[in-house]
Amino acid sequence: MSIPSSPPTGAALPAAAEVASETGVLTDVLLCRPEHYRWNPVNRASRETLAAGETLDVAALNAQYAEFEDALDRAGVRRHYLVTAPHLPYQCYTRDSSQMTPWGVVHLMLQAETRRGEYASLITFYRDAGIPVFNWATRGRLEGGDIHMVRRGTLLIGTSGVRSDAEGAAQFAGWFAARGWETHVTTFPDHFLHFDTLFSMAADGLAVACPDVIREDTLDWLASQRIRLLPASFKEASRAATNLLALGRDRVISPAGNTRINAMLRAEGIEVLDPQYRLFTMGGGSVRCTSMPLNRGG
């Protein structure tokens, strides 16, 4: 069955659609247009934005989202969309509410009550797309910004105790461990919204991360997995500068404001597509947050 998607793509997912890593070639992604977006005080970044008296420029917001869509198009990624609802301003942060796996989708447990209504459009989307449900998060809290399939067979989950907690992470990790995956669950300070504001894979064996904040045992584990880190500062991580979307084949999307990090990535031979995205990061999320991979090759 075909997936609701943006004109002119209109394509269905491959029959064997799966996501088993952060860095395989991204072919299909789940998005939600920011038609009803407004800064919602459910995280530190958005509360600081609102407290500063910032005004959201809707035209500029839409232009920035169009730049993101254009970057996906240039990378050959098919875009698929959720149906929006006026009372769900953060629906565009599609990373948090579900997680595609090698065995189907997992519906996650959102922490913020103002976001929990997002489940309805998700269930409808995956049902209509013919994507099987692998499992449902039913214990504690777990959001997709804290989940990282570092590579096939290796899973990393971060918990701050706020957006995701130990109980939710343990349930999810258990499903993967039962299928032979190595899993590692770490904690991080709740100053940071999700673990992907401290760590994101850029290419196989290469990540952007904030080692000054990540626990020593987790840094040791990453080293044991032969993951090399490009270091981000505390200040950069606090504005989600590590939150990038790997496209596979040594390509990433990373906002233009991440000047130093993007320069490091390019020095490593990574092609960086760099849309303007500041109005979304002011609300608490960047390009990884506004994308849920539906299929990755390799």
Domain of 92, CATH number, reads 3.75.10.10
Domain membership flag for residue 16: no
Using the predicted structure, report yes or no on whether residue 1 has a pLDDT greater than 60. no
Which tokens in the block code for residue 260? 């130093």
Q: Give the pLDDT confidence of 5-43 residue by residue, as tens digits.
A: 443 334 577 767 899 999 999 999 999 999 999 988 877
Domain that holds residue 177: 25-297
Assigned domain for 220 exists? yes
Q: Does residue 39 form part of some domain?
A: yes
Identify whether 246 is part of a domain.
Answer: yes
Query: Please, what is the average pLDDT of the chain?
Result: 93
Residue 19 maps to a domain: no
Distance (Å, whole) CA 120 – CA 82: 10
Please report whether residue 52 resides in a domain. Answer: yes
Return all residues near 98 (Cβ < 8 A) that are at least 6 apart. 30, 105, 106, 107, 108, 122, 126, 144, 292
Q: What is the mean pLDDT of residues 277-295?
A: 94
Kindly state whether residue 61 falls inside one of the protein's structural domains.
yes
Rounded Cα distance between 293 and 99, Å, is 8
Domains: count for the chain: 1
Q: pLDDT of 131-140, one tens digit each?
A: 999 999 999 9
In a domain, 132, yes or no: yes
